[in-house]
């Protein structure tokens, strides 16, 4: 029952934020506050939905975690955390690089259309950072 309530709460926040954006309000600070509130409410709601499985599921989870830690000698958790960090940080870096390269590429293309191929190549190189991070994370997870 509580999972349904949390799901409805998360969906209502998403719908309200969607209505806010569809109406087209352009106040920058208010828009930032709405984005932050929506993001954290969805994250908290999803966490409660995932973690609120009940006592029977918690007992099963404890047994599964106990068996997993015995199988991996206790290093599995740090491996997953490090793989997540590799993927997340490389994704953030790629996003920053693509933002800078794509805006410069659009400016260059608007002045001279012949530089399209070179500009796209630089944007692709910036996107490769995220792919490298994902490959490293997959290599780390293959050790499990």
What are the pLDDT digits (tens) for 104-144?
888 988 998 888 888 888 888 888 888 998 898 888 888 75
Asked whether 69 and 126 are in contact (CB, 8 A), the reply is no
Closest CA to 133 of 90, 101, 74, 97: 90
With a cut of 70, say whether residue 99 has pLDDT above it. Answer: yes
Tell me the CA distances in angstroms from 132 to 77, 79, 127, 144, one per residue in order. Answer: 22, 17, 9, 20
With a cut of 60, say whether residue 65 has pLDDT above it. Answer: no
Q: Kindly calculate the radius of gyration of the chain based on its CA atoms and give it in whole angstroms.
A: 22
What burial class does residue 102 get, using C-beta atoms within 10 Å of its C-beta: 0-12 exposed, 13-18 middle, 19+ buried?
middle
End-to-end Cα spacing for the chain: 36
More confidently predicted of 44 and 91 = 91
Average pLDDT of 12-16? Answer: 73
Asked whether 76 and 68 are in contact (CB, 8 A), the reply is yes
With a cut of 60, say whether residue 68 has pLDDT above it. Answer: no
In this prediction, what percent of the chain has a pLDDT beyond 90?
1
Write phi, then psi, for 143 (nearest 5 degrees): -80, -10
- pLDDT tens for 24-40 read 666 666 666 767 777 77
Phi-psi region of 91 (alpha: psi -120 to 50; beta: other; left: phi over 0): alpha
Give CA–CA dist 31/23, Å, rounded. 12
Fold for 69-144, please state it: F1FO ATP Synthase (1.20.20)
Closest CA to 124 of 116, 136, 114, 113: 116
With a cut of 50, say whether residue 55 has pLDDT above it. Answer: no
- pLDDT tens for 84-95 read 888 889 999 898
User: Looking at residue 71, what is its pLDDT?
Assistant: 46
């Amino acid at each position: 029952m509580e999972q349904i309530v949390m799901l409805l709460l998360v969906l209502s926040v998403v719908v309200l934020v969607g209505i806010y954006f569809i109406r087209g309000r352009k106040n920058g600070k208010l828009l930032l506050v709405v984005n932050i509130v929506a993001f954290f409410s969805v994250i908290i709601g999803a966490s409660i939905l995932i973690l609120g499985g009940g006592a029977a599921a918690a007992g099963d989870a404890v047994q599964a975690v106990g068996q997993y830690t015995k199988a991996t000698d206790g290093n599995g958790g740090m491996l997953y955390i490090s793989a997540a960090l590799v993927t997340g940080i490389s994704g953030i870096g790629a996003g920053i690089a693509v933002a800078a390269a794509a805006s410069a590429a659009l400016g260059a293309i608007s002045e001279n259309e012949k530089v399209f191929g070179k500009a796209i190549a630089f944007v692709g190189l910036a996107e490769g950072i995220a792919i490298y991070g994902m490959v490293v994370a997959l290599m780390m997870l293959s050790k499990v």
